[in-house]
Amino acid sequence: MPVIGGVADDLTGATTTGVLLARSKAKTAVFFNEEAALKCGDSEKLEAVLISSNSRALSADEAYQKVGDSMKALKQMGVKYFTKRIDTTLRGGIGVEIDAMMDQMGEDAIAVVVPAMPQSRRILVGGYSIIDGVALINTPVAQDVKTPVKENFVPKLLSGQTKRKIGQVTLEVILKGESAIKEELKKRQEEGCKVIVVDGITLEDVENVAKACIDLRWNILAVDPGPFTSKLAYARELIQDEECNMPPEEEADKTVLIAAGSATPVTKRQMEVLCENPDVKRISIDPLKLIAGGEAAEEEVAKAVEKALVLFDEEKVYKAILFETALHGELLNLSEEDAKRHYADGMSSNRINAGLGMVISHILEQKGRDKIAGLYTTGGDTMVNVCYQLGVESIEVIDYVIPQTDVCRLIGSYEGLPIVGKGGLTGNENTACDIVQRLRREATR
């Protein structure tokens, strides 16, 4: 029965936290929604579960409902310790989602918010979020199409989203160690603070916060991108030391299928570097036809599938085939496309990702698993749609290539097929190459 349970506002976020637990010897599964979690027949074999509420871009009321439903599912599964996984760039309605979980935890619940993920160069200093040495609001996420972040001071950001009083523990206290942290947390609680934002710049800082929380014996909701949840679990002796789970060095002579749904400059550069390899083929898909839907979308999907099947029929085995909609031509403003067609917000994006999912599904249906090393998706929405088209509702997390780039295996349809999901802002220019190599190695297990 799972002891640790969390809710993430998107799938890649859920796997980011889940993989830290999995690398620490906790059998961990990620579910795409609360219904899938409740349907799981083998949950008693799990030690940790993460549910994706897919709520990042929803209205406050909708997000509250989705996260609340996920929380009910976790409680029904027998979870004892709860975590609210947040995006490292603080997108979405974090405060509302904290409320949704705390409203089911009792009056004594305290949310301890530790946004730092030092292994990904995400830190918090004086309550201000710093991403790889740059203030959050000066990073590309500030202009995110769906969920831009305009506030860099985390206590202020949360105060506009939650009904609970916000407190803060600054780096000055954190650097003094566990005892000082414990006393400061206690002071914030005595002041009536129910949500406490805590600075951190190293994993040791995060660990000291976790130890202080355990000493206080609070009913804690961990709110973080993953490291704080992992350190709490370790301090509670629920998990072991974190270790990598590397496959053999040889690579399978199979092809990785890539669905690139992210349009960030980071992803674009990664794919440009990947495509410099002659063993990688790129197939561009017209996003406007996918957005249009109907016959236009079906024909565009069929065209992409046919191009890929021709490549599979060659004697040469390509390392990867990249399907992309946003890395060529002029970048679309999807909000404008929604308005132009009188679509609901986000429908254009959903149709593009559904189209990419259909391409991957059709190829697997026709070629089977024998020639496919694994799947690589960029962007949480893309991963959800690919898995949805494959009839997959949950995945087991295994390891990561780099933090926030997680290696998983499908559960159910195409059982055991490796899949990597990567956020659009994660990694350096060689990350896509590293992912392809890792998936080809995973295929030898």
Q: Which of 34, 24, 30 is nearest to 12 (CA)?
A: 30
Query: Which ranges in the chain are annotated with CATH 3.40.980.20?
Result: 255-442
Question: What local confidence, expressed as pLDDT, does residue 417 receive?
Answer: 97
- Phi-psi bin for 251: left (phi > 0), alpha (psi -120 to 50), beta? beta
Question: What local confidence, expressed as pLDDT, does residue 426 receive?
Answer: 82
Question: What local confidence, expressed as pLDDT, does residue 399 receive?
Answer: 96
Question: What local confidence, expressed as pLDDT, does residue 228 receive?
Answer: 98
Mean pLDDT of each 10-residue bin along the chain, 445 residues long: 95 93 97 93 90 94 98 96 96 97 97 96 97 92 81 97 98 98 98 98 98 97 98 97 91 96 85 96 96 96 98 96 88 89 91 95 93 92 90 94 93 94 84 97 95
Q: Can you tell me the distance from the alpha carbon of 409 to that of 387, in angstroms, rounded to the nearest whole number?
A: 11
Q: Can you tell me the distance from the alpha carbon of 427 to that of 430, in angstroms, rounded to the nearest whole number?
A: 8
Task: Give DSSP secondary structure letters for 94-121.
Answer: HHHHHHHHHTTT-TTEEEEE---BGGGT
Ramachandran angles phi, psi of 346, nearest 5°: 90, -5
- Helices 265-274 and 431-442 sit at what angle, rounded to 10 degrees? 60
Look at residue 221 and give its three-state secondary structure.
Answer: strand
Opening angle at CA 296, ends 290 and 298, nearest 5: 75
Amino acid in the structure at residue 21: L
Q: Look up the CATH number of domain 4-235.
A: 3.40.50.10840
Q: Where are any strands of DSSP class E within 74-230? A: 81-85, 109-113, 122-125, 128-131, 134-135, 166-169, 195-198, 219-224
Class of domain 255-442: alpha beta
Query: Which ranges in the chain are annotated with CATH 3.40.50.10840?
Result: 4-235
Cβ atoms of 279 and 344 closer than 8 Å: no
Looking at residue 153, what DSSP letter applies? B
